[in-house]
Amino acid sequence: MEYLPNILFAIILVGALTFFTKNVKRLSRNIKLGRDVDVSDNKPLRWKNMAKIALGQTKMVVRPIAGIMHVIVYVGFIIINIEVLEIIIDGLLGTHRIFAPLGSVYDFLIASFEILAFLVIVAVVVFWLRRNVTRIKRFLNPEMKGWPKNDANLILYIELVLMILFLTMNGADYQLQQLGADHYTQAGSFPISQFLAPILDGMNIPSLVLVERSAWWLHIVGILFFLNYLYYSKHLHILLAFPNTYFGKIRPKGQFDNLEAVTKEVKLMMDPSADPFAAPVEGAEPPAKFGASDVMDLNWVQLLNAYTCTECGRCTSECPANQTGKKLSPRKIMMDTRDRLEEVGKNIDANNGEFKMDGKELLGDYITHEELWACTTCNACVEACPVSIDPLSIIMDMRQYLVMEQSAAPSDLNNMMGNIENNGAPWPFNQMDRLNWEKEL
């Protein structure tokens, strides 16, 4: 019976890590459904971007109020995990505050954890008020109704409860230390939780042990639950922001990719020795699909982008098309891509690892033609994203599919492309008449 709590803790820990590993494998499988793309160039710049954007949070503080509060929550999340390591070791070995021999260093760490926990509570409350009372416009878009809104609030509730449990655990521990209870050696500095003393004052040692142990168990189980909840939440960016910023676009933002299939066709046309009427080589790969109509047509970096989306809405709030009342929302493009990718993943799971056609596609069933053609390709969404997501690349790939596979461009665009093909310019004038305007001078 003495080791029952340790055995129970080990079972919970192994179960949580097993479920987390299963989710990681599913996430990796889904991302790998995308086309391969070479992102091995300029590694020093990529490492620099990851350190500056993901670790340094440089793009978050462009909007100071939300940015600084996010940095507090982010730093709190990272540093308090050091304390979680101690809890896990204590849970497995049956010890209590195993890092206490660090002395003054340990006191400093615990004090830092408590101050950060308090600041996280303040930030979480402000975030909740911004979403539910102040009702900032970018949190009210149609794509934020239902689960996205509930998910954002649920995350705030979880973070609030975890920080309160942490301070409650320390407060009861502090009281037990003052009373000289067995197993509760003098260790740590408690600048915040010591103020819980009036609430806990008068409780006997068994009651304080019950409070401390209950808060301890709920805190660590809550963290393990949160770890596995990440896969189903927008907070997956906590883990994916680092690889996403590393693999983010490093070329000039206005530079678009040439379609490899089109490049091959042009080279073939310019090769005087090539036979344009030659039959395809037997066994050769079928002609490549132009652009993208579903998630499998996108590359794996774009699918990683979709899972990394924080749903913060900075891209949509900066989008000139959205500001003028168009249906386009870059955030919705990323959320739709992730939703469709999850649907495809469930289809594969249900069919023993094979995707069975379900009559749906990302283009049309999730993202409309109207949304795609509303985009001005200005890159404002790409510039605004705090974790280097590129919604524009997905929009452009689906536009390419509409134009080159379905000839479904708007009439004005079709007229322009026809004029370029026939007249060498976007205007409907014969090349011989192009300089007639000079005669009117």
Residue 49 pLDDT: 93
Is residue 391 included in any domain, yes or no? yes
Does residue 94 sit in the same domain as residue 175?
yes
Number of separate domains in the chain: 2
Residues 220 and 296 in one domain: no
H-run or E-run covering 156: helix 147-179
pLDDT mean over 258-285: 70
The two tokens of residue 186 are: 């003098």
The candidate with the shortest Cα–Cα distance to 348, out of 54, 25, 81, is 25
Q: Which is more confidently placed, 361 or 421?
A: 361
Judgement on whether residues 293 and 224 belong to the same structural domain of the protein = no
* Claim to verify: residue 328 and residue 264 sit in the same structural domain: yes
Q: How many CB atoms lie within 10 A of CB 222?
A: 17
What tens digit of pLDDT does each residue of 113-128 get?
899 899 989 999 999 9
72 and 214 co-located in one domain: yes
Does 26 lie in the same domain as 130?
yes
Residue 252 covered by a domain: no
Choice among 42-46, 224-228, 407-411 with the minimum mean pLDDT: 407-411
Same domain, 224 and 302: no
- Residue 105's Cβ-count burial label (10 Å; 0-12, 13-18, 19+) is exposed
Q: Which domain holds residue 319?
A: 260-275+288-423
Question: Mean per-residue pLDDT for 187-204?
Answer: 86
The answer to whether residue 376 is domain-embedded is yes
Spatial contact of 375 and 328, defined as CB atoms under 8 Å apart: yes
Calculate mean pLDDT across residues 212-241: 92
Over the stretch 278-316, which tens digit does the pLDDT of each residue have? 666 665 565 668 889 999 999 999 999 999 999 989 999
Residue 286 pLDDT: 59
Question: Looking at the structure, do residues 199 and 343 belong to the same domain, yes or no?
Answer: no
Residue-wise DSSP of 68-90: HHHHHHHHHHHHHHHHHHHHHHH
CATH code: domain of residue 418: 1.10.1060
Same domain, 416 and 267: yes
Is 297 part of a structural domain of the chain? yes
Residue 404 and residue 312 in one domain: yes
Q: Do the domain assignments include residue 40? A: no
Same domain as 72, residue 164:
yes
- Look up residue 79 and give its amino acid: I
What is the predicted pLDDT for the residue at 262?
Answer: 75
**In this predicted structure, what is the pLDDT of residue 273?**
77
In a domain, 145, yes or no: yes
417 within domain boundaries: yes
Of 111-120, 160-169, 178-187, the range with the lowest mean pLDDT is: 178-187
**Does one domain contain both 213 and 297?**
no
Is 171 contained in some domain?
yes
Q: Tell me if 17 sits within 8 A of 23, measured CB to CB.
A: no
How far apart are alpha carbons 435 and 430 in whole angstroms? 10
